[in-house]
Amino acid sequence: MDTTTKPVKRPALGLKDRLIRHALERRLDRAAAPVPAAALARGGDAPIPDAHCRFDQHPGYQQLRIINDGAARLGVANPFFKVHEGTAGADTRIGGAPYLNFASYNYLGLSGDAAVAEAAKAAIDRYGTSVSASRLVSGERPIHRELEQEIAALYGVDDAITFVSGHATNVSTIGHLFGPNDLVLHDELIHNSVLQGIQLAGARRLPFPHNDAAALDALLTAQRRQFERVLIVLEGIYSMDGDYPDLPAFVEIKRRHQCFLMVDEAHSLGVMGARGHGIREHFGLAGSDVDIWMGTLSKTLAGCGGYIAGERALVEHLKFLAPGFLYSVGMPPPVAAASLAALHRLHEVTDRVQALQARGQAFLGRTRALGIDTGTSAGLAVIPAIIGNSVKAARLSAALFARGINVQPILHPAVPEQSARLRFFICSGHSEADIEQAVQATAEEIRRL
């Protein structure tokens, strides 16, 4: 009788199982961290502090309560979470009353556009309201690939991938593609989603002064050869300030230092360029000049989610291994259909792009003429009115709301206290009279403050 121990033959892992194991091993490698000394110092009989086991004692929540209570004592109402009772664009309804609206990313009015709405309804009839699985397993639908191919064509690149969240697009892409041996350099005003992605990656993070290509060049000269992969991240239009980078200068720098360049087009698609095709069209660049094009579907494209566009290897890598795509349900068919229809409409409504740009320039010119601080805004779609005090900014927002104008304040800590502001989003549907009304009312209420 042969008593030799034989190796157990395990069944071959399927593709999904291999991908899951790979992702888990990578996550575990990153997650190893020492137990805090304070936790070890507490004996088994020591009481657990309330802040460690009660949400109402959490330091973050306590800070929120202090801010809210202080605002209440100053007579400042909470300006957030207003309920819009219909499609929000250049105008809206809140509490049963009409408002002139400057708090919407519906830049070209494509959310609410008849063709976009019909496409979403038809997708529900054909595919239902959910694909009910991750796309890798059984959630793939023709509408997903059609949308991604159209996005790739818009940028003149090989392919694209869509995620169900714009914020998660940056977190998952950066968090997956880069690691502890890598460096990410970003504009100091970059979006939170990029910062969260860098933290997940465990990469070294270095900010550089806003739109300062020379400062970036100096950082790379000093740091590039200390790291493996290096990523530079910019925005097409910066959402708090309304300005944009000199993208050709950054392309030249990334090539010279052999880095990757990522551009977040959340606020520039539909806004920049003669046809609204974004910062690439504005500067006349090739799609391959930028390694990672990112954008959202929730603004100009009238849906929800985000996308990455670029070379085939980048997109294929993310599709098979990026956790934010691999382990997430596929995008709902009506959302994908709406964004695809909005992308088609983008090619047809160049008159709306031109109207948006004209209104933005008019708003910027009028506010500056009246002495309102608009910072570095280029007057394309995002124009701040910098007040320099959070309480005053909240009061100004409330005063304008009382006059039928809805515009949100941006307060500390979202921006430094001295940079507290109102942030006006211009839409193609705003008329010249709308612009004049809003600017005059803002100037009058600032004087009253």
Residue 88 in tokens: 């929000």
| pLDDT the model gives residue 12 | 52
Question: If you search the block for the tokens 């250049």, which residue do you land on?
Answer: 90
88 near 101, Cβ under 8 Å?
yes
Average pLDDT over residues 194-209: 98
Residue 172's CB: how many other CB atoms inside 10 A? 26
- 400 backbone dihedrals φ, ψ, rounded to 5°: -70, -35
The DSSP letter of residue 400 is: H
pTM (2 decimals)? 0.88
| pLDDT recorded at residue 1 | 40
Q: 97 and 404 in contact (C-beta within 8 Å)?
A: yes
Helix (H, G, I), strand (E, B) or coil at 63: helix
Q: Is the pLDDT of residue 46 over 90?
A: no
| The two structure tokens encoding residue 340 | 């695809």
What digits encode the pLDDT tens for the residues 105-148?
999 999 999 999 999 999 999 999 999 999 999 999 999 999 99
Distance between CA atoms of residues 291 and 144, nearest Å: 22
User: pLDDT tier at 222 (50, 70, 90 boundaries)?
Assistant: very high
Which of 16-25, 65-74, 225-234 bottoms out in mean pLDDT, i.e. has the lowest?
16-25
pLDDT at 3: 39
pLDDT at residue 2 is higher than 90: no
The Cα–Cα gap between 147 and 301 comes to 11
If pLDDT is split at 50, 70 and 90, which confidence band does 40 have?
A: low
CB atoms within 10 A of CB 211: 21
